[in-house]
Amino acid sequence: MREISPLQKERLNYQPKLAGALACGINSVKLSLGETTSATGDKEDIQKLFPNVYGKPIAKFASAGEDLSTEQKNVGVILSGGQAPGGHNVIAGLFDALKTANKENKLYGFLGGPSGIVDGKYIELTDEIMDKYRNTGGFDIIGSGRTKLETESQFEKALEVCKKLNIGAIVIIGGDDSNTNACLLAEWMAQHNTGINVIGCPKTIDGDLKNDQIEISFGFDTATKTYAELIGNIQRDANSAKKYWHFIKLMGRSASHVCLEVALQTQPNITLIGEEVEAKKLSLEEIVNYMANIIAARGNQGKNFGIALIPEGLIEFIPEMKVMIAELNDLMANLESDGAYQDATQDKKYEIITSELKPQSAKLFNSLPSAIKAQLLMDRDPHGNVQVSKIETEKLLIEMIEKKLKEMKAQGSYNGKFASQAHFFGYEGRCAMPSNFDADYCYSLGYNAFALIQSGLTGYLSSIKNTTKPASEWVAGGVPLTMMMNMEKRHGEMKPVIKKALVELDGPVFKELEKNRDKWAINDCYVFPGAIQYFGPSCVCDVTTITLQLEQEKKLVNV
């Protein structure tokens, strides 16, 4: 039996392209520093919390034209949070850079996420291990986890492990929460004069970790192309069978970037954007009416089929739902220790809940299908919040739209047929084999992370810019983590966090959807992207997301 597929065998041999100056060699890069920076919000509070790493300048690398000496330095690497395509290549780039700089350097992978550095669980990464994971999806080389690094005890244990392994730098590969933890760890290490540098790498398929310096988070390119392929296939099926409406929920809780990008790639009939729903203060009823009217208009033309894309976090963007969920989160925290509630039947639990909710939230809760009510009351996430990914929003909308269409049929405004299929695409994209873009981008991020370490920097996020150009024109550097931070309320306390980047309704990406959505609603404008291509012309294999292209075009216009 084959251990790997022919495609994986070929991908293992793929040599990723390096960004600009990095291609000249890790020992030949020259660091230049810009002006000092400040936090994106709550500047005084962030500066007080991070006095040792705050206000650092943006870093940029160029080729020095001469070899730079490097002392021996061991590095530890952590994969943190959910998986994203390309994580293995970040580690590969880091590994190759440190071994090129000094063959005596060692790279230690902490197992199971941030808990690995606290518990002292690790492996030394070698050529033999690394060569099995190049250009592959997943985080299985060392595993991942969601443990937060934020307490004095954790930092002390991490320091003990680093001393034992003679580690001089730590690279944390993660999203906004993980890199907030990286900043906390960098501050603690600097405060205690440990000499240990901490560098982050921007990961999340949700696409909400970005700004002027971080153009795209890794994994977004591959994940959206994977979802677009699946949706293109479904669109082809719908256009062939002509009898189903497909309601497709897409991963992305806090932002709708994935849904927006996939919509631009596939041109479905309906695309909901959470940020738009929130800005327009749309109610659940208004959303249902909007979707039902499109379905009815198509049905009246004999088109009893279509595609609707729904962002995973839609529920929390609907103002009335957001209020109800916040009330539920507080209420459920109190009811966890209430024996009478825990022993009650499901119907009795609903009675208790509605009696405790405010009238408007109680009315909304009672209007929901029983299955959705049950999902809202399921076990909470580690933050004590509703697990939004487990709420079947797509099925909720189907049930409510079906009811609305029956009313419209009775009124004579709809004469079509409605049959539906529900889908949720999430895990299908998190560990996909990375696209050429993500393979190259991630390799450069890891290689660049060691360049930042070699330059003595700490509290930085690895940054690769100019990414719509060929890799030879990419610009490598680093952005201070504190520059991306503000204060937000978490668990009832104000905490420093990296600010999430939401869909900008006045930005070029949403405007592209807005310009076309009425045409796509009624006409069959479906695009079928097909599978990710790894071999062939650059215009097919190396092209990046529509989101990135539109954002960079706007940036060039504004320069």
Q: Which residues are catalytic?
A: 206
DSSP secondary structure letters along 165-196: HTEEEEEEEE-HHHHHHHHHHHHHHHHTT---
Burial bucket for residue 466 (CB in 10 Å: 0-12, 13-18, 19+):
middle
Instruction: State the chain's maximal CA–CA distance in angstroms.
Output: 80
| Cα–Cα dist 230/529, whole Å | 9
How far is Cα 369 from Cα 375, in angstroms, rounded to an integer?
A: 10
Residue 348 neighbours by CB distance under 10 Å: 12
For the chain, the C-alpha Rg in angstroms (whole number) is: 25
Q: How far apart are CA 158 and CA 169, in angstroms?
A: 12
What is the distance between the terminal CA atoms of the chain, rounded to a whole angstrom? 56
CB 16 within 8 Å of CB 441: no
Asked if 245 and 125 touch (Cβ cutoff 8 Å), the reply is no
Give the number of other Cβ atoms within 10 Å of residue 293's Cβ.
16
Contacts of 291 (CB under 8 A, 6+ apart): 270, 272, 308, 397, 401
Question: 271 phi and psi, to 5 degrees?
Answer: -135, 120
Sort strands 460-465 and 475-480 into parallel, antiparallel or unpaired.
Answer: antiparallel
Give CA separation, 17 vs 38, 278, 439, in Å.
33, 41, 8
User: Residues 401-404: contacts with CB within 8 Å, 24+ apart?
Assistant: 401/288, 401/291, 401/292, 401/295, 404/288, 404/289, 404/292
Cβ–Cβ < 8 Å for 244, 236: no
Both structure tokens of 327: 């009330």
